[in-house]
Amino acid sequence: MTQIPPISPNRVPTIRDVARAAGVSVGTASKALNGQGQLREETRGRVQQIASELGFRPNDLMQSLLRQKSFTIGLISTDSYGRFSSPLMEGIEDALGAAQFSVFLCNASDDPARERRHIESLLSKRVDGIIVTSRRTDPRAPIDLGVVGVPILYAYTQTDDPDALCLLPDDAQGGQLATEHLIRAGRKRIVHITGPEKFLAVRERRSGYEAALEAHGLKAPKPGVLAGPWSEAWGFEAVSGILERKAKVDAIFCGSDQIARGAVDALREHGVRVPEDIAVVGYDNWEIIAAATRPALTTIDMNLHTLGGLAATKLLGLIDGHKDSGVQRFPCRLIARASCGTSETLVTKRKEDGRPTR
């Protein structure tokens, strides 16, 4: 018989405490608690009874050690839990939680040294995988894991390493979707007000816009594309400029809901009716902005919650040894509200609570 320490009051009970209290060996206790082996029902029951009385809870640290698997993943974010990270994280956590995985939260806030420390810590904690997230889709430096074979996945960001798996929204498709929605609504002179060109998302959304125009034999008014900061003020300013020049425009596709809101405010205050005179489509489906705009914004949703869930699922696949790599794009969807009028061709309209309304 091994030496067994007394149960000091506030100590977390171990399986040995259970075994001793039940008058069996540690091995037997283990089997009883895990439903393994051949045990007399009475023994099994007694052990389980005692375990629950003692508040015994198996130590995951040890299990991880034994199984060589921690059921834990690391989530590295450079977006301070902002607009994009939030739905992503939610989707990731939902999917991972269902698979009994836990998530280590790491906010690197664009600081490489801090990111490095987090990586080291995650590896030391033997996470089974890592998801990297960002606030923009542009390529970033790959994370160097050394020789360690921990699966890694980039979500809402990407890296040049061809072996890396990167999940991104299809911003070109999103831009095309928005523009075609306007075209189907009968609009022919569509302007695009968007963010800084240094953002990949800006360039891709614009290419979708241009592709849609071309596919329908339309030309952009000139200037067709106005790039500026990601702000309401810019949307307001850009629209004011358009109206001052008395440019003939019947629709605006905005690169973000914030820009769209500024645009709609400017239109309204200049006496231009939305959507009758000028229809507007935004981007992001940021409820707090989109739903509060008057009229509420028709906008593009990047399905980030879904993308997060997908990221989690794919990471679990990588952990299970399924090979996967490359940059993968996932479609955006259009959320129809009032800023673009209504039309038979609209996709399913959803109320704020997420349930289909018809």
Which of the choices DNA, a second copy, none does residue 8 contact, using the CB cut-off of 5 to 8 A by kind? none
Examine residue 61 and tell whether it contacts a second copy (CB under 8 A).
yes
Indicate which of DNA, a second copy, none lies near residue 288 (CB less than 5 to 8 Å, by partner kind).
Answer: a second copy
Largest CA distance in the chain: 93
Q: How far is the CB of 253 from a second copy (least distance, A)?
A: 20
**Closest C-alpha among 207, 206, 216 to residue 181:** 216
**Could you say whether residue 342 binds a second copy (CB under 8 A)?**
no
242 binds DNA (CB under 7 A): no
Residues 71-110 that bind a second copy (CB under 8 A): 72, 75, 80-82, 85-86, 89-90, 93-94, 97, 100, 102-107
Closest CA to 284 of 210, 348, 357, 195: 195
Q: Under the criterion CB under 8 A, does residue 325 sit at the interface with a second copy?
A: no
Query: Residue 5 and residue 8: Cα distance in Å, rounded?
Result: 8
| 148 counts as binding a second copy under rule CB under 8 A | yes
| Residue 10 interacts with which of a second copy, DNA, none, CB < 5 to 8 Å by class | a second copy
Residue 311 near residue 155 (C-beta atoms within 8 A): yes
Alpha carbon separation from 125 to 76, 120, 139, 192, 347 (Å, rounded): 14, 9, 27, 47, 45
Query: Rounded to 5 degrees, what are φ and ψ at 191?
Result: -100, 150
Close Cβ partners of 288 (under 8 Å, ≥ 6 residues apart): none
Residue 196 sits in the site that holds DNA (CB under 7 A): no
Cβ(206)–Cβ(232) below 8 Å: no
CA proximity to 327, closest of 171, 166, 200: 166
CB of 11 to DNA, least distance (A): 7
Binding site partner of 39, from a second copy, DNA, none, Cβ cut-off 5-8 A by kind: DNA
Q: How far is CA 215 from CA 54, 218, 225, 256, 357, in A?
A: 70, 8, 17, 23, 32
Q: Phi, psi (5° rounding) for residue 187?
A: -85, 145
Residue 333 contacts residue 304 (beta carbons within 8 Å): no
25 binds, among DNA, a second copy, none (CB under 5 to 8 A by kind): DNA
Q: Does 135 bind a second copy (CB under 8 A)?
A: no
Nearest approach, Cβ of 125 to DNA (angstroms)? 12
Which partner in DNA, a second copy, none is near 343 (CB below 5 to 8 A by kind)? none
Member of 6, 9, 10, 34 binding DNA (CB under 7 A): 34
Residue 49 in contact with DNA, rule: CB under 7 A: no
- By DSSP bridging, strand 102-107 and strand 72-77 are parallel
Pick from 45, 52, 53, 63: which binds DNA (CB under 7 A)? 63
- Could you say which residues in the range 203-242 bind a second copy, by CB under 8 A? 231-233
Interface residues with DNA (CB under 7 A) are: 1-3, 5, 12, 14-16, 23-28, 30-31, 33-34, 36-44, 56-59, 62-63, 65-66, 68
Interface residues with a second copy (CB under 8 A) are: 10, 12, 55, 57-62, 64-65, 70, 72, 75, 80-82, 85-86, 89-90, 93-94, 97, 100, 102-107, 114, 117-118, 120-126, 146-149, 231-233, 258, 261-262, 269, 288-289, 292
